[in-house]
Structure 1
Amino acid sequence: PSVSLSVMPFLFFALLTTKHVTYSPKSICALKGSTVIMDCTYSYPAGHTVQTAFWTKSLPPAAGVEPPDLLDDPEYRDRVQYLRDKSCRLSLRDVRESDQSKYYFRFITDKPGGKWQGTDGVYLSVTGLQVEVPERVMEGDKVTLTCKTTCRLTDRTSFTWYRNGASLSSSTEQLYVQSASRENRDRYSCGVWNLFSPEIPLDVLYGPKSISVSISPSGKIVEGSSVTLTCSRTSLVTKGENFTLNNISSVNSEGYKCKSSNEHGEKYSDAVTLNVLYPPKNTSVSISPSGEIVEGSSVTLTCSSDGNPPVQKYTWFKDGGSSPVGSGHSYSFTLDSESSGQYYCEAQNEHGSRGSEAVLLNFKSTND
């Protein structure tokens, strides 16, 4: 019987300990920088008078040792406020990440054993705001941005969205961008009350655009020189940007274009043609009329040559002589014994000259 009498008071005290402080709610999610309110109610037996009431982050470490009061903690004393009535309300302003913890209300009366602390406590989770964007955004995509927190905010919340610092009309945790564009380079942030997330750029991926080829050196390109073609673009390419042609010749005059590609697409430039300048080449003489020519007939010799710029001067020579016998693209005369012989032409432009092989002009005598 003596044992049962000693156990019953202990059980009765334990029940008082757990029932005399009630927290509501028992968990809170708050934003960094905000003010949070923790609420509880407490009661005590008739005849008791409360001497001390405070909030703490600790349970009693040992019998006879009181946990520390938040008002005595330099990290809290300037940020907490108590309402010392039957509604034990704690106000904590400028919430910090380091404030994430469980908080307990404790009170002590003037009677022996009159110490109560609700062991459930209030757990405070602390979160910031962060704009969440899709991992991959292509130009033209419809994009959903989300204002994220690491815990669900306890208070019903209206969100504010900002683009490049200007507020938008959306008031929910999600913002819809109808068509992503690389041109905008927009930065987005979200806010709750007067607390804001960092600005996040919307990085839009796109394939190469505005591809063009430039020629270096600019100006005249003379046969035998070197030319570098450079591919310009508005997106990174996967191959080299430059293509160099050494000892360039007239056969290199065809059109060139470059292809720029990345993981999001590819695009070709317009073709560019190299205007390669070179002296006359492939110079030759043609005879009109062709075939057998009768003495006294009119003959026309025509000089043909390929050059860039085009041949500017044609000169005619006879029988290997150094003095010209005529000039111009064509040379006409009457064929007789004086004018028969070997003829060749020389074609010339600003980059050089080239002579043709000689052609032999004979005639058929009218006496034959």
Structure 2
Amino acid sequence: MFWFTTVKDNEPVDLKTDPEYSGRVQYQCENNDCTLRISDLRESDSAEYKFMLITNDPGGKYTGSPGVTLTVTDPQLQVHVRRSTVNSYSNWTELTCHNNCQLPDQSSYIWYRNGHKLSSDEQYLQLNTFDSADRFYCAVKGYEIFPSPTVYAPKLPSVSVSPSAEIVEGSSVTLTCSSDANPAANYTWYKEDENLPKAFGQNFTVTKFRPEHSGRYYCETQNKLGRHNSTLQQTIVPGAKKIKAAGVTAAVLLSVTSLPVFLWIRKKRNSKESSKTEGRADNKEQCVSDQEEPQKQDDLQYASIHFSKNQADPLYSNSSSAPQTPGGTESYT
């Protein structure tokens, strides 16, 4: 008589000879009852176990089918947090080391605070005071390799805004808050100097942002082990679109007003050059009378530019020449 989980060469493999169970199995067989005992149970021991009976009769091999299914998991410990407040001066927090398996009644527990063992060996741990930075977890004595997840108060939350660019009046804005915590944190949004919450949850959205929405907002994260908050300054840019538009208008205006200034300078320069040229023409070339009106003189300066025979304005050095006039003076129009 023996127990088996695998078959090799069409023959069941006795657990006592299976290397995976070496030294960990015992049979207790008496009075037509054969019990299998497995020590140092492992997750790999999860299987369907069958019992084999072999007699002296020809073909006398008997087995039960189906067998017994064994599923092995770790204790899957969880720390449950319960907080009670009697009044503003008296409150306490209770931690429970909960497991999904039925452990022997004599099992004891180990509690850890910031990685250090506590003296308590009970399933429950009651705390009157503790720091919000403290971290707790538990384990079953003898199974310390299967501790529970750590529980702790929310860490300093981080806040962000989307879109992250300048906020224009009438646009949609979403504030987001996130924090690491176990148990999971609850999120509440407040605006500075206002007592009532503005929103609950990680995200707070304002669909049409107006000037009165400007100000400081803070997100509070809280679980049964503590709370934390972080602030965010949110300011609208009034008339941002108009400001940008004015900037473009100013740039265009600058370009337009620069042209007359340039022409005026150019005109004055031409006027001076024309005067010099007229002085070098030995008074042989007819010029506009000084008594003429300024407006006519300006018109003439735009209409004609004169050079002496031996000297020309380099700005116009590529101009085509006209036939020489009597008196040895070249004229360019």
Q: What's the TM-score once normalised by structure 2's chain length?
A: 0.38
Comparing both structures, which one devotes a greater share of its residues to helix? 2
| Greater relative contact order structure (CA < 8 Å, 6+ sep) | 1
Q: What's the TM-score once normalised by structure 1's chain length?
A: 0.35
